[in-house]
Amino acid sequence: DTAVVGFEAQIDGAVQTLKASDIDGWMPTYLSPFVAPKTFYLRDLPEGSYTFAMRAIDIVGNKSDWSSSQKVVIDRAHPVVTNSFVVSNANANEVTVAWKGATDAGAGICQVNVVDEDGLVLQASSAKNAPAFKLASGVALTGTAQVFDCVGNGQSGDLSITNTFVAADKSSKTGKWSAAGAAYGAGAIKCVGKCTASLTVAGKNEVLVGAGAATVAVGNKTVATIADSKVAKLRIGATVDVGSKKVVRISGSNFVLIGLASVTSTLGTLKEIERAPAITDPSLSDEKQAKLAKLGFRAEDFSQEWTVLPMGGGTKLDDPSLDLCNGTYLSEKERVERRQVAATKVGSTFAFLSTEVVKYSSVAAATAAQKELVKVVAQCQSEKGYKDATGALIPYDFKTLKNIPAGVVSDGNRVFVHTVIDSGERARTLLGFYQFNGDTFTGLYVLNTDGFSDAQVAKWLKVAVTMAERLTKR
């Protein structure tokens, strides 16, 4: 047994000798009463990822076997976040922007969320480089951005991204043009022979093209030349800043023009944040619960300040699922699986925020449940509430839900309600979205004491679309 006097480290395959040092604060122990164990310090490595192994060297020069290789990430700082976005894809309906300004030299970027004022995640990306967001053409993305690296360091700030996109097929054209095909999306056109397309825009715009070469002119002046490409995919051929509204002409032979896109973004003052540890949900170890969990609220639907977990008894059939207006629902006995989760946060403005997923014994049983719900709601509307056990009327004031979005389940497979329950100090407002598909039902319940604005109703209708997508794609 000879003393260790040094170490060798293998860092990404390169070997270097390291000095042995005593462990700081060492005290004698029963197993090691006289000699302090040796350690080493590896200092001043730049931020990044490394593959690391080590071995010990004793006083006569014997070397131990190499340890197993370990991946080590050095990250001393929060992500670097700047207001830099570029168009990465576009068509007549949607513009995709990449956040070039979200970077981390150490562990790398692992998660980017844009959340609304309630903490609902509007868009998210786990891309390591240039996380992307999809924007409906002409529609802004506004919220709080949260950028986390892979060890949990984060930055947060208010973000707004607006966009405009003028599709190539809206241009004034000369020459022979045809639709460019599915590879380029709606609105892209292909020139055969010599062609010119003219589009009127203002400000800074990206000229989006595909294969081929072209020139770009503003007025009578050529401002850019787009190099030839044989690859059939979107690329930014040129960037032009025309100031006030002007005509931009794109000319060439045998090329694809997708359109002109403009993106404007603002990023507020940043603050450093840390990623909270994930909360364990033991119920997900059950295979049936894990499947149901995919259909309702998930932890990743919310910012990290929220907790999404099953309610007490939420994974059992003891509590009712359909209890609106204190109706009678014989279909309750046909339930075979159930999962109800609540989303909670300290200081939340919601009295109750929950989703419920129920699997019935058959499609017929689920259909019967939907029909029972329709009948109870109709009676509740007619009688303006229901009478409790004492004979007192519990009032329900139903509101008309307008502008039901595309994407929810069909009218015959849903029941949507917006109602004020009770009155005075006991009044509370419910948005309830009940959607059925096959043998399964998903309920989305949003309850508060202050009522909902039209914008808030529209937001939760969008969440109902998400629930419908999960329900129909299971």
User: Quick one: 400 and 430 in the same domain?
Assistant: yes
Helices within 284-391 (DSSP H only): 287-293, 363-383
Question: pLDDT at position 1, please?
Answer: 47
Task: Report residue 2's pLDDT band, with 50, 70 and 90 as the boundaries.
Answer: low
Question: pLDDT at position 377, please?
Answer: 98
Number of domains comprising the chain? 3
**194-213 confidence digits (pLDDT tens):** 999 999 999 999 999 999 99
Q: Which domain holds residue 29?
A: 4-74
pTM of the complete model: 0.81
DSSP 332: G
Question: pLDDT at position 74, please?
Answer: 79
User: Quick one: 382 and 266 in the same domain?
Assistant: no
User: Quick one: 385 and 452 in the same domain?
Assistant: yes
User: Quick one: 158 and 288 in the same domain?
Assistant: no
CA distance 385 to 327: 11
CA distance 274 to 118: 19
Residue 45's domain is classified under what CATH number? 2.60.40
33 pLDDT more than 80? no
Lowest mean pLDDT among 1-15, 73-87, 283-297: 1-15
Domain edge (last residue) among 218, 241, 275: 275
User: Quick one: 441 and 304 in the same domain?
Assistant: yes
- Is the four-CA dihedral 60, 66, 67, 72 of positive or negative sign? positive
Mean pLDDT of 284-299: 98
User: Quick one: 321 and 412 in the same domain?
Assistant: yes
Q: What are phi and psi of 207, to 5 degrees?
A: -90, 110
User: Quick one: 185 and 242 in the same domain?
Assistant: yes
Average pLDDT, the chain: 94
CA distance 245 to 250: 16
400 pLDDT more than 50? yes
Residue 411's domain is classified under what CATH number? 3.40.1000.70
For residue 444 the two structure tokens come to 């989305």
Residues forming beta bridges with residue 9, ordered by sequence position: 16, 54
Answer yes or no: are the C-beta atoms of 391 and 419 closer than 8 Å: no
Answer yes or no: are the C-beta atoms of 85 and 101 closer than 8 Å: yes
Question: pLDDT at position 18, please?
Answer: 86
119 pLDDT more than 50? yes
Question: pLDDT at position 34, please?
Answer: 67
278 pLDDT more than 60? yes
Q: Where are the beta strands (DSSP E) in 183-325?
A: 189-201, 204-209, 213-218, 221-226, 235-241, 246-253, 256-267, 271-274, 307-310
User: Quick one: 26 and 125 in the same domain?
Assistant: no
User: Quick one: 291 and 414 in the same domain?
Assistant: yes
Answer yes or no: are the C-beta atoms of 461 and 446 closer than 8 Å: no
Domain edge (last residue) among 245, 275, 305: 275
**312-368 confidence digits (pLDDT tens):** 999 999 999 999 999 999 999 999 999 999 999 999 999 999 999 999 999 999 999
Task: Report residue 474's pLDDT band, with 50, 70 and 90 as the boundaries.
Answer: confident
Residue 190's domain is classified under what CATH number? 2.60.120
Name the residue among 80, 19, 26, 106 with its Cα closest to residue 54: 19
User: Quick one: 270 and 289 in the same domain?
Assistant: no
Question: pLDDT at position 32, please?
Answer: 67
Q: Residue 229: CA atoms inside 13 Å, Cβ hemisphere, count?
A: 17
**124-142 confidence digits (pLDDT tens):** 999 999 999 999 989 999 9
User: Quick one: 229 and 293 in the same domain?
Assistant: no
User: Quick one: 266 and 303 in the same domain?
Assistant: no
Percent of the chain residues past pLDDT 90, beyond the cut? 84
Domain edge (last residue) among 275, 293, 318: 275
